[in-house]
Amino acid sequence: MSTRQILRRQFRAASIASRVSAGSMASAVAGVLLFAAPLSAQTAAQPGVTFTKDVAPILQRSCVTCHRPGQSAPMSLRTYEDVRPWARSIKTRVSAREMPPWHIDRNVGIQEFKNNLALPDADIATIARWVDAGAPRGNPADMPPQREFSSGDEWAIGKPDLVVRFPAYHVPAAGPDLFPTIVAPTGLTEDRYIKAIETRPVGINSRRVVHHAITTMVSGGGDGAPLSPDADGANAQFIVEYASGKAPEVYPENSGVLLKAGSSLSLGNHLHSVGEEIDAQVEVGFQLYPKGVTPKYIRYSTHHGDPTPNANDSLDIPAGSVARVDGYTLHTKPGKIIAWQPHMHIRGKYQCLELIYPGNPSNVMKRETINCANWDYNWHSVYNYQDHVAPLVPAGTVIHIVSWHDNTAANRNNPDPQNWVGYGDRTIDEMGFSWIGWIDLTPEEYEKEMADRAANRNKPPTATQQQQQQQQ
Ligand code: HEC
């Protein structure tokens, strides 16, 4: 038996002892440490990591939102009994930073986000130490009360002011991917501005087949006749994209998206058969500004950096290779980027958002990489910037999106590394662009924000910023 196995046994014994008496825990651990020469200094310095005292609070804060019955994750992580069989897998996933799902590259660009799910290094170390010590339960009296959630069915944005539910669409047990366009009236009789928005498949079965859903606002169409859902069309405005695993969108204070009186929503749905007949249904919930209130800033969310120079033909991914594609979008007006959401399909690997600023007097282009993110097709995450770091974009800036696709066998999602892949709507075809949440600024507003930020740069962070940083 190795020293490690012996230690694990000892720790288990310690955790059983602790159920009898909390005090005996410390002495049992101390006893182990006395003869445990090979134990690393780090572990030795922090004896007695237990589930109830150290690990449960982390899981409650960062995991049970999804890992509880009736939610998207495959298993519950609420109690010691739930968690114990998964201990190894948990260590692997959190150490690789695959869980919680947060794929921003931590070594590049901005790290302050409103919806940051990443675990702090200290929490990952605690989980690893706990697993290495044999995953002891610890003193039941240390167990924090279970976090309360209202019901399995609540909206993450809170109670919506308006819910638009689209008619159900039948998905056969087997067949090619389906791309229906489904229309439903908003029922609004006056213009309203959206504060927060959440798209969700209705019920567990719909969640299994809805790959993504793009909601566009169309004028008219309430009679069921769909207008063109082209986001750039004169009569259509892109509202929101849902994709599996996506969190809701909450717009920054004083900003919103217009939802017009008499408009309808057009849903570009992408459905995937799963071996069982399912009637898939999607609904969109809105929180709205009060009647008659127009927010100061209007938010857009648009496609950026679609592949160039030959549009989608530029997506050229030979069998067995990792290919790069670049896309560029020119912005003639100043503005602010408030959210970034990479979009690729199953061969997606990594994407970067870069700004190429207009030429300065020495005519040298200045480039700045704003962020890069790993891509996991299970997770279409939107990264919402904290207000004080949301990238400011001067007029004349080119937004540059770089996407890498992995068409090798090393990509565990790759269904067929033997084949060339190009652009297409199907999951097994590719895309490479970003949705960017954007606010236009006047030149004066842009100058003022730049000056304010420069003035604040050397000031100590505010209480809220400090708090947000501690949570990261
Ligand atoms: C936003 C929802 C969400 C959060 C938050 C989340 N998970 Fe997950 N987790 C999932 C889903 C969905 C899956 C299955 C799909 C996948 O693997 O990506 C999963 C898979 C896993 C797996 C692999 C399970 C298997 O079948 O092998 C582990 C382990 C895991 N999560 C641990 C954690 C831990 C630990 C945390 C918190 C530190 C966490 N997760 C936070 C949704 C979440």
Q: Do both 108 and 174 map to the same domain?
A: no
Tokens of 52: 């109830």
* Cα 197 from Cα 450, distance rounded (Å): 29
Mean pLDDT confidence for 177-205: 88
Give me the half-sphere count of Cα atoms (radius 13 Å) on the Cβ side of residue 77.
23
Percent of the chain with pLDDT over 70: 79
Last residue of a domain, one of 295, 329, 347: 295
Strands 316-317 and 181-185: unpaired
Residue 270: pLDDT above 90?
no
Q: Do both 354 and 329 map to the same domain?
A: yes
Q: Do both 12 and 115 map to the same domain?
A: yes
CA of 100 to the centre of ligand 1 (A): 6
Residue 3: pLDDT above 80?
no
CA of 432 to the centre of ligand 1 (A): 25
Give the domain range for residue 10: 3-142
CA of 247 to the centre of ligand 1 (A): 15
In the chain, % helix, strand, coil (3-state, to 5) comes to: 25, 30, 45
Residue with CA at minimum distance from ligand 1 atom 32:
90
Q: Do both 121 and 184 map to the same domain?
A: no
Residue 72: pLDDT above 90?
no
| 343 in any annotated domain | yes
Q: Do both 282 and 360 map to the same domain?
A: no
Residue with CA at minimum distance from ligand 1 atom 31:
99
Q: Which atom of ligand 1 is nearest to the CA of 247?
A: 1
CA of 126 to the centre of ligand 1 (A): 18
Does residue 101 line the site of ligand 1, with CB under 6 A? Answer: yes
| 432 in any annotated domain | yes
pTM of structure: 0.76
Bridge partner list, 367: 356
Q: Do both 451 and 306 map to the same domain?
A: yes
Q: Do both 305 and 451 map to the same domain?
A: yes
* Cα 269 from Cα 343, distance rounded (Å): 15
| 336 in any annotated domain | yes
CATH code, domain carrying 355: 2.60.120.230
Q: Which atom of ligand 1 is nearest to the CA of 379?
A: 18
Percent of the chain with pLDDT over 90: 47
CA of 462 to the centre of ligand 1 (A): 33
Assign residue 203 a region (left: φ > 0; alpha: ψ between -120 and 50; beta: otherwise): left
Q: Do both 136 and 212 map to the same domain?
A: no
| 147 in any annotated domain | no
CA of 132 to the centre of ligand 1 (A): 20
What is the length of the chain?
472
Does residue 63 line the site of ligand 1, with CB under 6 A? Answer: yes
| 209 in any annotated domain | yes
Q: Do both 224 and 345 map to the same domain?
A: no
Q: Do both 287 and 312 map to the same domain?
A: no
Does residue 12 line the site of ligand 1, with CB under 6 A? Answer: no
Q: Do both 232 and 253 map to the same domain?
A: yes
Residue 90: pLDDT above 50?
yes
pLDDT band for 70, please (50, 70, 90 cuts).
low
Find how far residue 73's CA is from the centre of its chain.
14
Q: Do both 243 and 354 map to the same domain?
A: no
CA of 99 to the centre of ligand 1 (A): 5
Assign residue 22 a region (left: φ > 0; alpha: ψ between -120 and 50; beta: otherwise): alpha
Does residue 65 line the site of ligand 1, with CB under 6 A? Answer: yes
Bridge partner list, 326: 402
| 468 in any annotated domain | no
The 10 Å CB-count burial string (b at 16+, else e) for 41-52 is eebeeebbbbbb
Does residue 55 line the site of ligand 1, with CB under 6 A? Answer: no
CA of 92 to the centre of ligand 1 (A): 11
Mean pLDDT confidence for 131-146: 96
Q: How many domains does the chain have?
A: 3
Q: Which residue has the higher pLDDT, 18 or 220?
A: 220
pLDDT band for 221, please (50, 70, 90 cuts).
very low
Cβ contact 340:372 at 8 Å: no
Residue 40: pLDDT above 60?
no
CA of 16 to the centre of ligand 1 (A): 28
CA of 73 to the centre of ligand 1 (A): 6
CA of 66 to the centre of ligand 1 (A): 8
Residue with CA at minimum distance from ligand 1 atom 9:
73
| 339 in any annotated domain | yes
Does residue 73 line the site of ligand 1, with CB under 6 A? Answer: yes
Q: How many CB atoms lie within 10 A of CB 311?
A: 11
* Ligand 1 pocket test, candidate residues 99, 127, 374, most atoms within 8 A of CB: 99
Q: How far is CA 54 from CA 69, 120, 248, 463, in A?
A: 23, 14, 30, 26
- pLDDT at res. 220: 54
Q: What is the mean pLDDT of the chain?
A: 81
| 337 in any annotated domain | yes
Going along 158-262, which residue ranges are E strands?
162-165, 169-171, 181-185, 192-201, 210-219, 236-243, 249-250, 255-259
Does residue 74 line the site of ligand 1, with CB under 6 A? Answer: yes
* Ligand 1 pocket test, candidate residues 51, 60, 63, most atoms within 8 A of CB: 63
| 158-183 residue pLDDT tens | 899 999 999 999 999 998 878 888 88
Closest C-alpha among 397, 338, 344 to residue 375: 344
Residue 235: pLDDT above 80?
no
- pLDDT at res. 245: 58
Last residue of a domain, one of 295, 311, 346: 295
Tokens of 132: 């290495």
